Amino acid sequence: MLSYLPGCNSSRRDKDIVFDSFPAGELPDSEPRERWLAYASNTRVQGRTATSAATRRQSQINHTRKELMKAIVWTKYGPPDVLQLRDVEKPVPKDNEVLIRILATTVTAGDREMRSLTVPLWLRLPTRAYVGLRKPERITILGQELAGVVESAGKDVRRFKKGDEVFAATGFSLGAYAQYICLPEESEDSVLAPKPANTTFEQAAAVPVGGLEALHFLRKADIQRGHQVLIIGAGGSIGTIAVQLAKHFGAKVTAVDSTGKLDMLRSIGADQVIDYTKEDYIASDPTYDVILDVVGKSSYSGSIRSLKEQGFYLIANPRVSKMVRGLWTSITSSKKVVTETASRKTEDLLYLKELIEAGKIMPVIDRSYPLEQTAEAHRYVDRGGKKGNVVIAVKHSTDLSPPSGNGQREQRRSAGEGHSVHQGEKRQAEARSGVLADVGPRQTARS
Ligand SMILES: NC(=O)c1ccc[n+]([C@@H]2O[C@H](COP(=O)([O-])OP(=O)(O)OC[C@H]3O[C@@H](n4cnc5c(N)ncnc54)[C@H](OP(=O)(O)O)[C@@H]3O)[C@@H](O)[C@H]2O)c1
């Protein structure tokens, strides 16, 4: 599971892939060979012995033959400034992989927590052990989900071909903050499927992580028509899909989040909303058949008290103490506590695609930033209050401007203002004319 960057022949170690000495935008293929030779010998081999200089020059020449791409490189654990736009080596697909031209990705809570190493305490050492002890070394590009177009496919790939529109969760290898990525056609970790036909790339990119997580947990609870479901943290990536899925399964949904998201939560189907900054959402009597706590901040004993017999308490982001108590509750009572990590399956992503195409669910997009302003997008997410998802649009011209100033390329309208998308065509039309229309038409994303 923690294999080194599964799916790509090219190493993404920072020291190997970053071509700092070449001017941004001057890609090797666009340079005459002689100029690159001169450039390499002037910049990298000056002052060394003839033998090592020759070796290094040859190595430089080999490097210059490789194609480059733009990516946001994660240089340290820390604030958003550690994310920097650089030229890195474009990956080459293995026989069982597709090379995807990424057109959109997202900033998830998971990306933000990895970047700043603010994962739960018990996960910090394993995260450092996997990513890099002092700084990111094994994984140097964040980004857990994406949508794009298959650029090429390895000889053993059966389900995809050049030109197919896809969306994907990258799994533990991350790497979506880039112009290209290689993903295996089938994997235990990453998940790849054809993009829903009725979404933009930016909408599709916002589905896999939150959608697969929400689906995994809600399925555990075997929701029946009329069940009372409480969703805590309903206004984020996982929560906004969870609200729509629970409604699709026939539940009555009470959605908990902060003040600015309550209208949006009503618009995507929540029957009741509770502002966690003003009210206690824990009921004094057994009220709920299912409690899904996306952020892991609910009171354990209060939540168990609010659950009916045979009820499910699902915790997507649990602390160790809740895992231990949950095990005990599940053994000693009729109530079940689920704290596991969500599995990722291709069939589940295909199921989400079907629901989207049927107009049952649709991702909520808060705003979109261009790739070169990914650090600014992280700053926005760090501030809290994001509605649904923050998207990164990935352009493919060579004239990406350097990160500048503040703010997103286009300010998005709030997801609650006009976004209402889970009831068929009418909802989709509303979505297109509302927030989702702002999110970038397909032809723009492809430019
Ligand atoms: N996305 C993933 O890949 C994934 C997978 C597994 C687990 N997780 C973990 O699950 C957590 C949630 O993921 P996500 O992607 O849905 O995050 P998210 O998009 O940030 O959503 C979390 C939501 O919870 C709200 N919230 C914060 N404190 C709350 C409280 N005390 N009571 C009720 N709501 C509260 C937030 O609102 P405000 O910002 O307005 O406070 C936000 O709307 C993260 O910690 C993440 O690491 C994520």
pLDDT at 122: 84
Which ligand 1 atom sits nearest the alpha carbon of residue 239?
Answer: 16
Q: What is the pLDDT of residue 407?
A: 39
What whole-number distance in Å separates Cα of residue 290 and Cα of residue 272?
15
Residue 121 has a pLDDT of 84
Residue closest via CA to ligand 1's atom 33 equals: 233
For residues 78 and 116, the answer to whether their CB atoms sit within 8 Å is yes
Question: What phi, psi does 123 have (nearest 5°)?
Answer: -100, -5
In this predicted structure, what is the pLDDT of residue 59? 54
Residue whose structure tokens are 């009555």: 252
Q: What residue spans define the domains of the chain? A: 14-27+67-207, 212-338
Residue with tokens 């959605």: 255
- pLDDT computed for residue 5 by the predictor: 34
Burial class from Cβ neighbours inside 10 Å (0-12, 13-18, 19+) for residue 340 reads middle
Q: What's the CA angle centered on 443, arms 439 and 447, to 5 degrees?
A: 105
Tens digit of pLDDT per residue, the chain (447 long)? 333 333 344 434 333 333 333 333 333 333 444 344 333 333 333 333 344 555 555 555 555 568 999 999 999 999 999 999 999 999 999 999 999 999 999 999 999 999 999 988 888 999 999 999 999 999 999 999 999 999 999 999 999 999 999 999 999 999 999 999 999 999 989 999 999 999 999 999 999 999 999 999 999 999 999 999 999 999 999 999 999 999 999 999 999 999 999 999 999 999 999 999 999 988 888 899 999 999 999 999 999 999 999 999 999 988 888 999 999 999 999 999 999 888 889 999 999 999 999 999 999 999 999 999 999 999 999 999 999 999 999 999 754 444 443 334 333 333 333 333 333 333 433 443 333 323 332 222 222
Which residue's CA is minimally distant from atom 34 of ligand 1?
233
What is the structure's pLDDT at 317?
Answer: 84
Query: Which CATH code of 3.20.19.10, 3.20.20.210, 3.40.50.720, 3.40.30.10 fits the domain covering 212-338?
Result: 3.40.50.720
Round to whole Å and give the CA distance between 79 and 115.
7
Nearest alpha carbon to residue 416 among 273, 261, 210: 261
Widest distance between CA atoms in the chain: 82
Question: 307-315 and 336-338 as β-strands: parallel, antiparallel, unpaired?
Answer: parallel
Q: Does ligand 1 come within 6 angstroms of the Cβ of 120?
A: no
Is residue 100 a contact partner of residue 168, using CB atoms and an 8 Å limit? yes
Distance CA 179, CA 400 (A): 11
Q: Are 153 and 98 in contact (CB under 8 A)?
A: yes
Going from the Cα of 282 to the center of ligand 1, the distance in angstroms, rounded, reads: 18
Residue 111 CA to residue 414 CA, distance in Å, equals 22
Atom of ligand 1 nearest to the CA of 144: 3
Mode of pairing for the β-strands spanning 68-74 and 336-338: unpaired
Nearest C-alpha to atom 27 of ligand 1 is from which residue? Answer: 233
**Could you say which DSSP state residue 410 is in?**
B
Cβ partners under 8 Å of residue 313, min gap 6: 291, 293, 303, 304, 307, 326, 329, 335, 336, 337, 338
pLDDT at 61: 53
- Whether 209 is in the pocket of ligand 1, judged by its Cβ within 6 Å, is yes
Please count the other Cβ atoms lying within 10 Å of the Cβ belonging to residue 2.
Answer: 13
What is the distance between the terminal CA atoms of the chain, rounded to a whole angstrom?
Answer: 35
Q: Whose CA is nearest to atom 25 of ligand 1?
A: 233
User: Which residue of 257, 259, 276, 386 sits with most ligand 1 atoms within 8 Å of its CB, as the best mutation to test the pocket?
Assistant: 257
- Collect all residues with Cβ–Cβ distance below 8 Å to 276 and sequence separation of at least 6: 232, 256, 257, 258
Q: Which pTM was predicted?
A: 0.80
pLDDT at 14: 38
Residues in the chain: 447
CB-based contacts of 347, cutoff 8 Å, min separation 6:
none
Tell me which of 238, 300, 339 to substitute to probe ligand 1's pocket, judged by most ligand atoms within 8 Å of the beta carbon. 238
113 CB under 6 A from ligand 1? yes
Cβ distance 387 to 260 under 8 Å?
yes
Which is it for the CA torsion 92, 98, 99, 105, positive or negative?
negative
pLDDT at site 341 = 82
Closest residue (by CA) to atom 42 of ligand 1? 236
- Domain 14-27+67-207 in CATH 3.90.180.10? The answer is yes
Distances (CA, A) of 35 to 26, 38, 40, 430: 11, 5, 8, 54
CA of 369 to the centre of ligand 1 (A): 20
State how far Cα 20 lies from the chain centre. 27
